[in-house]
Amino acid sequence: MSPRGRALDRGAVEHYLDPTYYDHSYRRRVDDVAFYRAVARAHGGPILELGAGSGRVSVPLALDGHAVTGLDASTAMLRQARAHAKERGVPRGRLSLRRGDFRRFALDRSFKVVLAPFNALLHLYEPSELLGCFRAVGKHLSRGGRFVFDVRVPQLRELLRDPGHAYAVPPFRHPTLGCKVAYSERYHYDPTTQVQTVTFRFVPEDGTPPYETVLTHRMLFSMEVKLLLEATGFALESVHGDFHGGALTDDATEAVYTARRR
């Protein structure tokens, strides 16, 4: 495997190896959960979530009464999702969690809605992977079904950051390590591949050796998304710049897409 391939593999895996820290980091991200619950209420189930992770979205959907299938590549995150489902009392059979690769997947049922929340699609680095995913989604949607997803809007000021500069934040108590850590991030963007690499550095204050983890996202621009949808048999119904129906403006940080299977 090429060095670039190894870097992308790291960037698609390492951020999800510690589900406890992941849940702690995104505990205040709730607007998207409310949005996807509203989508489910509007269109009904069954529902497929791509990149189900620790169940942040799929568990609330199941608690709302929908039949949900969650697909994710991370064994650790799926284990956490099962634990959350049990803790919160999801009825048996309501939530099916499967390990799989959403670049290409074949399940034994169709769905009224397929969701890909919180930048899940940004882990598809090649055009063939994006096309494969979108085509698989189309094959799994029932007639008139919806494909709903959100991705980070590429921010020029972020993409131009100095890759040698470490952006530090105040120390915090790491939920897994059980001690305070100093924390910083470095950003590097490759315009030839559209991949942004974020390197997270943790320096525990208890003397544990420092360590780094890597997250890689392949930036998706709005016209590229529209082309992907058009090429794979979807009609774009709406695109918004937040989870409250706001317009996708030049200062929006998230793009939320709803597409209908033709």
Domain positions in the chain: 3-153+220-261, 156-217
1 pLDDT more than 90 = no
pLDDT single digits (tens) 144-176: 999 999 999 999 999 999 999 999 999 999 999
* Model confidence band, residue 5 (pLDDT cutoffs 50, 70, 90): low
4 pLDDT more than 80 = no
* Model confidence band, residue 7 (pLDDT cutoffs 50, 70, 90): low
What is residue 8's predicted lDDT score, i.e. its pLDDT?
A: 73
Q: Where are the alpha helices (DSSP H) in the chain?
A: 3-13, 19-25, 31-43, 58-63, 75-87, 127-140, 156-159, 222-231
3 pLDDT more than 70 = no
pLDDT single digits (tens) 218-235: 999 999 999 999 999 999
**Does residue 7 or residue 103 have the better pLDDT?**
103
* Model confidence band, residue 9 (pLDDT cutoffs 50, 70, 90): confident
Which is the CATH superfamily of the domain at 3-153+220-261? Vaccinia Virus protein VP39 (3.40.50.150)
Q: Which of 222, 253, 221, 256 is nearest to 238 (CA)?
A: 256
Q: Kindly report the backbone phi and psi dihedral angles of residue 50, in degrees, each rounded to the nearest multiple of 5, phi listed first.
A: -90, 130
Mean pLDDT of 115-125: 97
pLDDT single digits (tens) 57-107: 999 999 999 999 999 999 999 999 999 999 999 999 999 999 999 999 999
What is residue 79's predicted lDDT score, i.e. its pLDDT?
A: 98
Chain Cα centroid distance, residue 218? 12
* Model confidence band, residue 262 (pLDDT cutoffs 50, 70, 90): confident
Q: Which long-range contacts (CB under 8 A, 24 or more apart) does 77-80 make?
A: 77/16, 77/19, 77/22, 77/52, 77/53, 78/52, 79/19, 80/19, 80/20, 80/22, 80/23, 80/53, 80/54, 80/55
In contact, 45 and 75? CB cutoff 8 Å: no
pTM for the whole thing?
A: 0.95
